[in-house]
Amino acid sequence: MPGFGSAEIDELYKMFYPRQWFFRHVAQTSPSPLALEIVRAEGSRLTAADGKTYLDGIGGISVCHLGHGHPRVRAAIHQQVDAYLHVMVYGEMVLSPQTSYAHRLASLLPASLDCVYFTSSGAEAVEGAMKLAKRRTGRPGIAAFRHSYHGSTQGALSLIGDEYWRSAYRPLLPGIQEMEHGSLQDLFRIGTDTACVVAEVVQAEKGVVPSSAPWLQALRDRCDAIGAMLVFDEIQTGFGRTGTLWAFEGYGVVPDILLLGKALGAGMPLGAFIASRECMEALSTDPVLGHITTFGGHPVSCAAGLAGLEALLTEGHLERVSGKGQLFRERLQHPMIRDFRQAGLLMALDFGHADVNQRIIARCLAKGLLTDWFLFAPQCLRLAPPLTITPEEIAEACQIIVEACTEEENVSESQTETAV
Ligand code: PMP
């Protein structure tokens, strides 16, 4: 694409070439991106440049828990934009959006999780937590689980539970112990050199696999016995996704450090690692500025996140998650669906084969429903709609999926007949 350097011509190009610019000038993460050009998003609907609308079945991968353009979130953003945007690197000034949000989060968490370090993303929260655990325990090792995803920075990538995704980027962090999620035996690999164990309560990218309560308790007990810190990554499961505000609530097991992200900013970029005040102090001395960030806890993100949290709690969305999850479960009946795993409104439809899944995802998209697959479960279709999705929209989404399954079934059958 030639660059003419003229504003008028640039405007003309903007009308005709966004897709070409996307492929030419925006860095790609796969050879076959979705490349849908979205011009508007409201509630559970996305509108594309060609006027076609899509039901959002994934909410920006568990980010848009209140749907798109929630009025209270938008109002809070406008208000904060008018007051101030960025004034100083994180941690130096009293910024009311940060302090109010930290205070509110602390009020909704166990007493031992009362100090919030805001970051700009989930992976940065993982990085901060690993540093905090090393600093606090004086130990070098980190343990994590097979088929868990914690982010794409080099530290977080070191924890990724699948060699396919990490091998090209070695050397990564040393001293990482990989364990099988759910294995009692593997807990004995947590040793006296382990600073922390990073775990998901519900393994999201494995295709929605919840922990068993006795195993999670055994993990907690092992960490206590050996002096390792327990870190729960609730970046994908926090803020009501699984039916309770935090997924760990249902288990009665409290981590030493909690990681939040995604829905934390209600559509704005925000992450956090949360620990006790006493523990977090380790990052402010010896050395001073033990963990710093320029944009972490951006005032506009914090204002949006707090407004989103209040909306979640006061508008009844949280209470309705399990009922809505039940509606999905009842309506998603089809012989092509070999397994249906669910934690509230985080759902995996297992089709047994990645290529079948890809074709069903494509059929759903053509029929106006946006879905996705999982990093460690490519044979599973991901559903993580806004928690605000209506029963009518659930019915519509399920009908599209069932139709897509039937079409796929018919094609596979006719291919088998032709082969015979
Ligand atoms: N942990 C989990 C469980 C996640 O799902 C993600 C994002 N998919 C991350 C960490 C990383 O968050 P981010 O992309 O904001 O860095």
Rounded (10°) CA dihedral 271, 275, 281, 282: -90
User: Does the residue 8 lie in any domain?
Assistant: no
Question: Tell me, what's the pLDDT at 1?
Answer: 44
Pocket test for ligand 1, best of 127, 236, 242, 346 (most atoms within 8 A of CB): 236
DSSP H or E run through 155: helix 154-158
Distance from the CA of 253 to the center of ligand 1, in angstroms? 22
Residue 125 and residue 117: Cα distance in Å, rounded? 8
Domain's final residue, options 261, 292, 314: 314
- Sign of the C-alpha dihedral, residues 95, 96, 97, 101? positive
Q: Are 380 and 207 a contacting pair, CB within 8 Å?
A: yes
Structural domain of 337 = 19-69+316-419
Q: Whose CA is nearest to atom 2 of ligand 1?
A: 150
Same domain, 101 and 238: yes
- The CATH number of whichever domain residue 40 belongs to comes to 3.90.1150.10
**% pLDDT > 90, the chain:** 92
Mean pLDDT, residues 331-353: 98
Return the residue whose CA atom lies nearest to atom 11 of ligand 1.
151
Q: Are residues 59 and 105 in the same domain?
A: no
| Domain final position from 276, 296, 314 | 314
Pocket residues: Cβ below 6 A from ligand 1: 61, 121-123, 126, 149-151, 200, 204, 233, 235-236, 261, 271
Q: In angstroms, what is the span from residue 234 Cα to ligand 1's centroid?
A: 9
Residue 11 lies in a domain: no
Q: Directed axis angle between helix 391-419 and helix 317-331, to 10°?
A: 30
Strand partners, 178: 144
**Last residue within a domain, chosen from 314, 335, 353:** 314
Q: Is the domain of 96 the same as that of 190?
A: yes
pTM value?
0.95
- On whether both 101 and 130 belong to a single domain, the answer is yes
CB 106 within 8 A of CB 113: yes
Residue with tokens 């993580």: 384
Written as one string, the DSSP assignment of 214-248 is HHHHHHHHHHHHHT-EEEEE-TTTTTTTTSSSSGG
- Which ligand 1 atom is the nearest neighbour of the CA of 269? 15
Range with the lowest mean pLDDT among 21-35, 127-141, 222-236, 272-286? Answer: 21-35
The closest of 241, 245, 128, 146 to 203, measured between CA atoms, is 146
In total, the chain counts a number of residues equal to: 420
Residue 280 vs residues 44, 199, 312: alpha-carbon distances, Å: 38, 20, 28
What residue owns the CA closest to ligand 1's atom 12? 122
Same domain, 180 and 209: yes
Per-residue model confidence (pLDDT) at position 17 = 79
Asked if the structure places residue 394 within a domain, the reply is: yes
User: For the residues 64-92, what does the mean pLDDT come to?
Assistant: 97
* Confidence at residue 12, expressed as pLDDT on a 0 to 100 scale: 66
pLDDT at 122 over 70: yes
Q: Of 63, 148, 262, which is best to mutate to test ligand 1, by the most ligand atoms within 8 angstroms of its C-beta? A: 262
Indicate the number of domains in the chain.
2
Distance CA 199, CA 137 (A): 18
- Per-residue pLDDT tens for 258-288? 999 999 999 999 999 999 999 999 999 999 9
228 part of a folded domain: yes
- Residue 420 banded pLDDT, cuts 50, 70, 90: low
Share of the chain above pLDDT 70, in %: 96
Contact 150, 175 (CB under 8 A): no
What is the whole-number distance in angstroms between the Cα of residue 414 and the centre of ligand 1?
41
- Is the pLDDT confidence value at 416 over 80? no
Computed over every residue of the chain, the mean pLDDT equals 95
**124 Cα nearest atom in ligand 1:** 16
Which band of pLDDT confidence, cut at 50, 70 and 90, is reported for residue 412? confident
Tell me, what's the pLDDT at 217? 98
**Ligand 1 atom nearest to 148, measured from its CA:** 3
Position 268 scores a pLDDT of: 98
Nearest Cα to Cα of residue 215 among 182, 185, 188, 256 = 182
Burial of 18 from C-beta contacts in 10 A (0-12 / 13-18 / 19+): middle
Give ∠ CA 108-153-168 in degrees, rounded to 5. Answer: 140
pLDDT bracket for residue 347 (50, 70, 90): very high
pLDDT for position 16: 67
Q: How far is the CA of 208 from the centre of ligand 1 (A)?
A: 14
Q: Please give the distance, rounded to the nearest whole angstrom, from the Cα atom of residue 315 to the centre of ligand 1.
A: 27
Is 351 a residue whose pLDDT tops 70?
Answer: yes
Q: What is the CATH number of the domain that holds 97?
A: 3.40.640.10
Give the distance (Å) from ligand 1 centre to CA of residue 201: 14
Q: Which pLDDT score is estimated for 414?
A: 78
Rounded Cα–Cα distance for residues 174 and 160 (Å): 13
Q: Specify if 345 maps to a domain.
A: yes
**φ/ψ (deg, to 5) at 202:** -120, 120
